[in-house]
Amino acid sequence: MVNRCCIVGCNSARHNRPLKKKWINLPLLSCLEARPRRPSEVKSQQAEVIRILESKSIKYELIDISVGSAVRDEMRSKSGNPTAIPPQIFNEDQYCGNYEMFSEAVEADTVEQFLKIA
């Protein structure tokens, strides 16, 4: 079985490929912050997640929540957080965590366990 990661976020001009709208394999998202995030902060976090996944040769799919509220609502429902904001990460329909949790896994060298692919 090939593991793929879905990164749920907003479309970024830095990536010239269209973002997919369907949910497959490992998605990513961030949540539970008291203050709203700036769009540049979200894009920076998404870019960091993508960089790390690509460096580990982990396939992923980007899901753009800016295409409509139904996609955003689905992301929030699947993460179990009604106020979740990007980026969020999932393995298929299984929630892995938000950016802060991903970053902690990178520091601890436990990314594969975090993504539930180890």
pLDDT digits over 76-112, tens only?
Answer: 999 999 999 899 999 988 999 999 999 999 999 999 9
User: CATH number, domain at 58?
Assistant: 3.40.30.10
Q: What range does the domain containing 30 cover?
A: 4-114
Domain count, the chain: 1
Q: Which of 109, 77, 86, 82 is nearest to 10 (CA)?
A: 86
Q: Residue 19: is its pLDDT beyond 50?
A: no
Q: For residue 94, what are the contacts with CB-CB under 8 A and spacing of at least 6?
A: 116
Distance, in Å, from the CA atom of 116 to the CA atom of 118, rounded to the nearest integer, reads: 6
The shares of helix, strand and coil residues in the chain, as percent rounded to the nearest 5, are 35, 25, 35
**Of 38 and 78, more confident:** 78
The mean pLDDT value of the chain amounts to 77
Q: For residue 51, what are the contacts with CB-CB under 8 A and spacing of at least 6?
A: none
